[in-house]
Structure 1
Amino acid sequence: MHRAGRDVDRRPDAGPGSLECPRRSRDRRPMRSRLLLLVLSCGLALAACSRRGAAPLTLTLAQPASAVSLDPHLHDEEATYSTLSHFYSRLVTFGAELEVVPELALSWENPTDTLWRFRLRTGVLFHDGRPFTAEDAAATIRRAIALPGSKVAFYLQSVEEARAAEPDVLEVRTRYPYAVLLNKLALIDVVPRDAPLAPITAPVGTGPYRFVAGAAGQPVVGARFSRFFGPLPAWERVTVLPFPDERERGTAVSHGKADIAGRLSEDAWAEARSLPGQRMLSREGIGVTMLGFSVKPGSPFADVRVRRAVARAVDRRDLAASWKDAPPAVPMAQLVPPGVFGHSRDFRPEEPGEAAARALLAEAGHPGGLDATVLVPDSARSLAPRLAAQLARVGIRLKVDSRPWPGFYEAWNRSEFQACLFAWSAATTDISDVFDAILHSPGEGYGGSNHLGYSDPELDRLIEASNRTLDPYQRLSQVEAALVIFRRDVPVVPLLLRPHMYAIRPGLDWTPRRDRRIRAVDVKPAEAS
């Protein structure tokens, strides 16, 4: 049998995962009997190998969604990043603690303040056998910017030109000095140079797995790519299964449906922690849970005084203490957590004030309070009633519209909400991820996820100025000025930093990453680690 990290022997015409079984040239038993014996023989052989400690062939992962798109440039969503990381590589990537590390780029330099020169790996192949060169890297950057509906264009809003200087040298010129370009490139998956300006439905990348089958919202299957440029993963196949229902996801490992289940809520953790056949893991994350508001005409939150009333009514410490049987959440009144550029150790939010909140509502013309609906993913459905109870005390009556993740994500993208409970991660460890995506006005590479309808020209100017500034102290001053406007206008109310929670099958060795990605290359049989 095979060793972890190497392909099993296959017949030349065998599909991925099929094992070579010896033929019996003179066996004249009926075909059905021979087939049954053959299946039993292969099954017993696999069981025997398992008893001897060989790695199982397939790793199965349970997520809220397998992927919202199989096009790496038509999403900016955590579960999809996790799934597509099996098929694609990037110029640089993030380590488990979000440090920037080389991937397709071996090294880089800055001949000028606006020129980045990357020396690329040679000998790397796409899954269709074509060699990767700087032309593919340059075409990827151009596509990520120009693709209609691109969700990652804002990461590249500083880029003026990308070109292949040599087959293994990529040059990227920016419109202005941009110190965090490397961090942004870590979220841009590399595709072949001829990838169309239309949605990709069958990924072709340079990652550790080649795409076998699947579609957005459906199970996605990959087979180990034996010519991958890095260490081969232990698993011959990886399957990502969508479990939109969080309770079903929380029990998937115990019921033998998955090896690792991710993005569990506090309630799912409490229910799953005592189930047999799984162990529980958690770690701190970087995604801040927020309450966002539609500020479009007709929304009950279009008046800033109503939004300020919500901010004064919220008691973060009380929310964080709501769960007794799960890893603790942390009150978070800022857009980004500690360790991310833009977080302030000195900021102190206003204390909850019910009288002040009622006065603001009365001033806004709602002395008797108001009714509104809040859209939430089902992973936050236990948080929503607790938040609604706090707001009800000042007269804001929230109806909770809880949906499985795919339905929530679709409504979020269509701006079909009055208020929305969501989490946003500064995935590049810089507050610009939040500023550029959800607070800057849409247009010119900015505001790709601004579904709030919020816009302020001065905030836009400060965001753009901070992106052009290299000096970290000057840049921090610009960020703080932008945050003054943010706190004045309250387009979102930061609430909590919630832990990342997982269920995992015993016998696996895996350490959760800070960005919540579950990658088969990081998971090993415990005895082989």
Structure 2
Amino acid sequence: MFPFRVLPLALALSLGAGISVSQAQTLRWANQGDPQTMDPHSQNEALTNAVNNHVYENLVGRGDNLELVPELAERWQQTGPLTWRMWLRKGVKFHDGAPFTADDVVFSVERASMPTSQMNQYAAAMGKPVKIDDHTVEFRLERPNPVFLEHASSFHIMNRAWAIKKKAEKPLDYKNREETFAARNANGTGPFMLRSREPDIRTVLTRNPAYTGARKAVGNVQEVVFTPIKSDQTRVAALLSDGVNFVQDPAPQDVLRLQQNPAIKVVQGMENRVIFLGMDQQRDELINSSIKGKNPFKDKRVRQAIYQAIDTDTLVRNTMRNQAVVTGCITPSPLGCFADLEPRAYRFDLEAARKLLADAGYPGGFEVGMDCPNNRYVNDEEICIAVTGMLAKIGIKVNLATLPRANYFPKLEKHDTSFYMLGWGGAITDPQTTLDPVLHSPPTPSSKKGLYNYGRYTNPRMDQAINAAATETDPEKRKQFVRQALSEHREQVHHIPLHRQFIPWAARSNVDLKHYADNAVRAWTMTVR
């Protein structure tokens, strides 16, 4: 166990640099990772979204219990089976002083629908935005959308004139390392303004003095200094030495000791996030594998063998220090699943796993490469190391590569992987926002679904149920389509669910904060005494 120590002087000075207001009003926030970009439409990644969410707002927001609430749209109405109308707040200004109008909404929905946007499945599902007047927008859909308001809460609104002036009309292509003005600069309507952005070093936000929106300031934070600190040990040391006053992701093995320290407070709860493994089920020959001329992962027996060789109870108990709960469902929240689908689909059984491999033609196992992040999910690298040891027991030799999130996600987007870890979650508990982007067959010219189906399997039967659920407005009928899709996914072992992680937040005792199930920090609700 790491012995807690004083933060090294050089790092302490670095963390403190750039603080220009009273320490009592500054949230010094640390996380193992760093936001990927300030472009609000480019990447759909939780930390990136959480930081951008201080600067930008959505049409529909989230309340304290993650319920849908008015934000830039003050009210809305479904005016027909295929039309929604939204009335926008008046008097709202962007950080550069430009007025917020319907033109910005139309521009943002269209921008977020572009191919380089990872928000495109949500924005495109809202239909065609049409300006009625400066503060009214109508959305004309091609088909019914029972989760229209959920989609309206899923991406941020930009200023059209600013984006055009800065040549940022399109979301930057992150996976190909594109840089645009929007990567390090921002102009939103939110409660904080972006003052400076130094990737992998520091991001500084300052309170927007002109903000009068829906995110009421119940705290006193005037400045946010975000610092990525990859090492668990160094991150905790920074907290203990007051180099930072809030750590969003303390390592599970440190939580008990932090709870016993009177200078520290820990708040925690289960996050709306499921951690799972995926496999390339598209290539005829796997990359980074000892098997030539074919792809073992196309055989359900191999996928099931891997599932049955992984002891998820041990992962939760030992690797996660009981800071997670085992699940057999792929939805981020139990509210989006069914009680009978929550347990594992197939029990942990090494003998059964070995027999499945032998029946599939791999009695001695095989060798395969695996990719995992090392600074995205709780104990992500440690989980993958444990999995490699478990799979070795059935003869599968895993060559593990772990990468920081900045390199890891572009690798997945390029499908440069055979076997990988992914987590999926956020504020939305409705299963559709997992079914469409993660479980559906890969994108086609006529469909933007399946963007995060990095295994690139195709399953027409499951697609049919997913597509039916996406347009069915009768709640009971829709439940049946959702059940069909989740059951088919479970039966075919297209992914291997591991657990839903708990998220402890640790802060100095003078920081007042509330934990949210979407793991999104909301600095405007926090107080530093």
TM bracket, shorter-chain basis: 0.7 to 0.9
Report the counterpart of residue 437 of structure 1 in structure 2.
Answer: 437
* Offset of residue 511 of structure 1: 0.9
Report the counterpart of residue 209 of structure 1 in structure 2.
Answer: 192
Partners of 1:181 and 1:263 lie apart in 2 by 32
Which one of the candidate residues 370, 377, 399 is aligned to 1:374?
A: 370
Task: Count the aligned residue pairs.
Answer: 475
* Offset of residue 508 of structure 1: 0.9
- After superposition, the C-alpha distances for 1:300-340 in whole angstroms (9 at most, x for unaligned) are 5343321111122223223222258x453211110125543
Q: Which moved more, 1:408-417 or 1:58-67?
A: 408-417
Partners of 1:450 and 1:184 lie apart in 2 by 19
Do structure 1's residue 521 and structure 2's residue 524 form an aligned pair?
yes
Q: Which moved more, 1:343-352 or 1:64-73?
A: 343-352
Report the counterpart of residue 79 of structure 2 in structure 1.
Answer: 111
Partners of 1:403 and 1:187 lie apart in 2 by 27
Partners of 2:495 and 2:156 lie apart in 1 by 30
Partners of 1:286 and 1:203 lie apart in 2 by 28
- Report if aligned partners of 1:335, 1:343 keep a CA contact under 8 Å in 2: no
- Report if aligned partners of 1:336, 1:426 keep a CA contact under 8 Å in 2: no
Letter of the 2:312 counterpart? R
Compared CA separation, residues 426 and 205, structure 1 to 2 (3 A): closer
* Offset of residue 180 of structure 1: 0.8
Which one of the candidate residues 327, 337, 341 is aligned to 2:336?
A: 341
Q: Sequence identity of aligned pairs in percent?
A: 26
Report the counterpart of residue 203 of structure 2 in structure 1.
Answer: 220
- Report if aligned partners of 2:247, 2:505 keep a CA contact under 8 Å in 1: yes
Report the counterpart of residue 188 of structure 1 in structure 2.
Answer: 155
Partners of 2:426 and 2:201 lie apart in 1 by 27
Partners of 1:237 and 1:338 lie apart in 2 by 32
Partners of 2:252 and 2:400 lie apart in 1 by 18
TM-score of the pair, normalised by structure 1? 0.84
* Offset of residue 215 of structure 1: 4.6
Partners of 1:167 and 1:280 lie apart in 2 by 46
Report the counterpart of residue 197 of structure 1 in structure 2.
Answer: 170
* Offset of residue 513 of structure 1: 0.7
Q: Which moved more, 1:213-222 or 1:153-162?
A: 213-222
Partners of 1:345 and 1:488 lie apart in 2 by 13
Partners of 1:198 and 1:150 lie apart in 2 by 6
- Report if aligned partners of 1:285, 1:514 keep a CA contact under 8 Å in 2: yes
Q: Residue 391 of structure 2 aligns to a residue in which SS?
A: helix
- After superposition, the C-alpha distances for 1:69-127 in whole angstroms (9 at most, x for unaligned) are 11111011010011101100111112233211111111111111221111221111100
- Report if aligned partners of 1:335, 1:431 keep a CA contact under 8 Å in 2: no
* Offset of residue 491 of structure 1: 2.1
| Regions of 4+ moved over 3 Å | 16-19, 215-218, 230-233, 267-277, 342-348
Compared CA separation, residues 345 and 457, structure 1 to 2 (3 A): closer
**Structure 1, unpaired ranges of 5+:** 1-15, 20-45, 47-54
- After superposition, the C-alpha distances for 1:339-390 in whole angstroms (9 at most, x for unaligned) are 4333344655332222221111112221012222332222322222333333
Report the counterpart of residue 137 of structure 1 in structure 2.
Answer: 105
Report the counterpart of residue 329 of structure 1 in structure 2.
Answer: 324
Compared CA separation, residues 449 and 245, structure 1 to 2 (3 A): farther
Partners of 2:19 and 2:502 lie apart in 1 by 36
Letter of the 1:480 counterpart? R
Report the counterpart of residue 91 of structure 2 in structure 1.
Answer: 123
Report the counterpart of residue 8 of structure 2 in structure 1.
Answer: none
- Report if aligned partners of 1:115, 1:172 keep a CA contact under 8 Å in 2: yes
Partners of 1:96 and 1:66 lie apart in 2 by 25
Do structure 1's residue 78 and structure 2's residue 46 form an aligned pair?
yes
- Report if aligned partners of 1:439, 1:455 keep a CA contact under 8 Å in 2: no
Partners of 2:64 and 2:251 lie apart in 1 by 22
**Structure 2, unpaired ranges of 5+:** 1-17, 164-168, 173-181, 287-295
* Offset of residue 179 of structure 1: 1.4
Q: Residue 398 of structure 1 aligns to a residue in which SS?
A: strand
Partners of 1:366 and 1:275 lie apart in 2 by 52
Letter of the 1:250 counterpart? V
Larger Rg, first or second structure (1 or 2): 1
Report the counterpart of residue 120 of structure 2 in structure 1.
Answer: 153
Do structure 1's residue 424 and structure 2's residue 424 form an aligned pair?
yes
Partners of 1:302 and 1:289 lie apart in 2 by 22
- Report if aligned partners of 1:120, 1:134 keep a CA contact under 8 Å in 2: yes
Q: Map 1:19-98; keep pairs closer than 5 Å.
A: 56-98=24-66
Partners of 1:376 and 1:520 lie apart in 2 by 30
Q: Residue 122 of structure 1 aligns to a residue in which SS?
A: coil
Report the counterpart of residue 291 of structure 2 in structure 1.
Answer: none
Q: Which moved more, 1:190-199 or 1:359-368?
A: 190-199
* Offset of residue 498 of structure 1: 1.3
Letter of the 1:110 counterpart? Q
* Offset of residue 268 of structure 1: 4.8
- Report if aligned partners of 2:206, 2:222 keep a CA contact under 8 Å in 1: yes
Report the counterpart of residue 237 of structure 1 in structure 2.
Answer: 223
Do structure 1's residue 471 and structure 2's residue 474 form an aligned pair?
yes
* Offset of residue 135 of structure 1: 1.8
- Report if aligned partners of 2:93, 2:99 keep a CA contact under 8 Å in 1: yes
